[in-house]
Amino acid sequence: MGVINFVEKAVKDKLVNAAAEMLDRNPEGNTEKIFSLLQKTIKDPESKEQIDQVYEYYKENAAVHEFIQNMLKTTNKNCLKKFFTNFLANAVWYGVPKREKMEEQDGVIVPFVMLLSPSMRCNYKCTGCYAGSYSKKDDIPREEVERLISEARDLGIYYIIILGGEPFINSYMMDIYEKFNDVIFTPFTNGAFINSEVADRIQKAGNIIPMFSLEGFEEETDARRGKGAFQTVMTAMDKLRERGVLFGVSSATSRNNAETVTSDEFIDLLIKKGAKMSWYFMYMPVGESPDVNSMLTPEQRLYLGERAREIRVTKPYFTIDFFNDAPYVGGCIAGRYYCHINSKEDVEPCIFSHFATYNVKGKPLLDAFKTEFFKELTSRQPHSKNLLRPCMMIDNTNVIREVVAKTGAYPTHPGADRMINDPEFMAQLDKLAEEFKPEADKVWKEVFNAHGEYDNKEE
């Protein structure tokens, strides 16, 4: 078996190197050759099907064609090669089979991506945010951050998202990105620390894809983050665009800005600034002072998904809607496709689910995925046959309560306890779920034909 794995890796390495050389010489001119090389060499049916689908989109959809060509033409060659080798080759091609083998042989599900919050500190004091109450002593020590990344990589996780707080507040994180140069890192940032020197290092490293936090235009962003926050992001975007660095935008959507961040005007601005993608995260009633009245209405939530799908096929831009794209990934992905390690080193199944049963401080990361908590959650997925209602906290509210009660999970953040022990707040969440269900069921039937990707389920 070891010899077979060695030969398979050698073949893959040869293919990756050949494609990387094409990207280095003439990326936009060699697009067809790269697709042809992948199609001829890759034998795995699932991987081949995915490549064929992307190629069909590339040939038949003008917006997708323009998006891929624009990325190839405007991206620094080092950054482009790192994206290809670290994300497409390491994370998807090498990492996925390795993690699938662990699940098949040992029954342990290792997530595709790890979210890590090395520090909760931030230079901003945004409205409703908790980061201002943290100090340097609350940070995860540098050597511990490196250990966690190293163990994740050994498990087949080559894609790591860095959260906070503000990821760039600790300058040593740049050293870590450079040290683990076979991993793709995505720090979610306010842009304040991205000066010319940092931008140069990001370009040289090539394996860093920043996501800038924006709530909309200047008015919406500055209202929450403080005067000048929007222009700070615009300046940082300019520095990265000039250097050909891949970057995107993260938008937290609430009742007040959902239409703004999905508008043609806003997306066109981001394209002009050089961004390649947007991730939409719906405001969730978590934290110390959750406000259900700030959450999207059922109509807004479904409109967000409609616009995200529309933008993907009409503009040279890629969008991901954390909730509304659940039909494409089998519903809730907590624990199965991703997990979050907070600054106290509690391992949470989801960035919004502030519960855990395992703290990884000085202990193996793998053991977190062996816990009853993670196994119970993943065994229940999907939580609804309607994959537009994926969430265990706001759509299927019984799930988080039952799982916490069964596994003894503890709250990892002030306010999380309310989701399982505050009758009034729990009743509010139940009401939200009831109001969303008929609207979601209608769209599920009319738009998705009541069918999605049920991961490991016969349905």
Taking only the tens place, the pLDDT of each residue in 314-327 is: 999 999 999 999 99
- In this structure, the answer to whether residues 303 and 209 fall within a common structural domain is yes
- In this structure, the answer to whether residues 141 and 180 fall within a common structural domain is yes
pTM summary value: 0.93
Q: Per residue in 26-85, pLDDT tens?
A: 887 888 888 887 777 666 676 677 788 888 989 999 999 999 999 999 999 999 999 989
Task: Determine the structural domain holding residue 428 and report its residue range.
Answer: 338-446
- In this structure, the answer to whether residues 278 and 342 fall within a common structural domain is no
- In this structure, the answer to whether residues 167 and 314 fall within a common structural domain is yes
Let me know if residue 209 belongs to a domain.
yes
Q: Per residue in 140-193, pLDDT tens?
A: 999 999 999 999 999 999 999 999 889 999 989 999 999 999 999 999 999 999
CATH code for the domain in which residue 147 is found:
3.20.20.70
Let me know if residue 452 belongs to a domain.
no
- In this structure, the answer to whether residues 370 and 290 fall within a common structural domain is no
Q: How many domains does the chain have?
A: 3
Strand ranges for 197-245 from DSSP E = 211-213
Q: How confident is the model at residue 221 (pLDDT cuts 50, 70, 90)?
A: very high
Helix axes 423-446, 298-314, angle to 10 degrees: 40
What pLDDT is stored for residue 455 in this prediction? Answer: 42
Q: How confident is the model at residue 10 (pLDDT cuts 50, 70, 90)?
A: low
Q: How confident is the model at residue 276 (pLDDT cuts 50, 70, 90)?
A: very high
Last residue of one domain, picked from the residues 293, 328, 363: 328
CA distance 385 to 458: 11
Cis status, amide bond into 382, omega within 30 of 0? yes
- In this structure, the answer to whether residues 302 and 345 fall within a common structural domain is no
Let me know if residue 233 belongs to a domain.
yes
- In this structure, the answer to whether residues 248 and 283 fall within a common structural domain is yes
- In this structure, the answer to whether residues 56 and 14 fall within a common structural domain is yes
DSSP lists the bridge partners of residue 184 as 159
- In this structure, the answer to whether residues 90 and 125 fall within a common structural domain is no
What pLDDT is stored for residue 456 in this prediction? Answer: 39
- In this structure, the answer to whether residues 429 and 302 fall within a common structural domain is no
CB 140 within 8 A of CB 343: yes
What pLDDT is stored for residue 1 in this prediction? Answer: 42
3-class secondary-structure state, position 109: coil
As a whole number, mean pLDDT of residues 256-272 equals 97
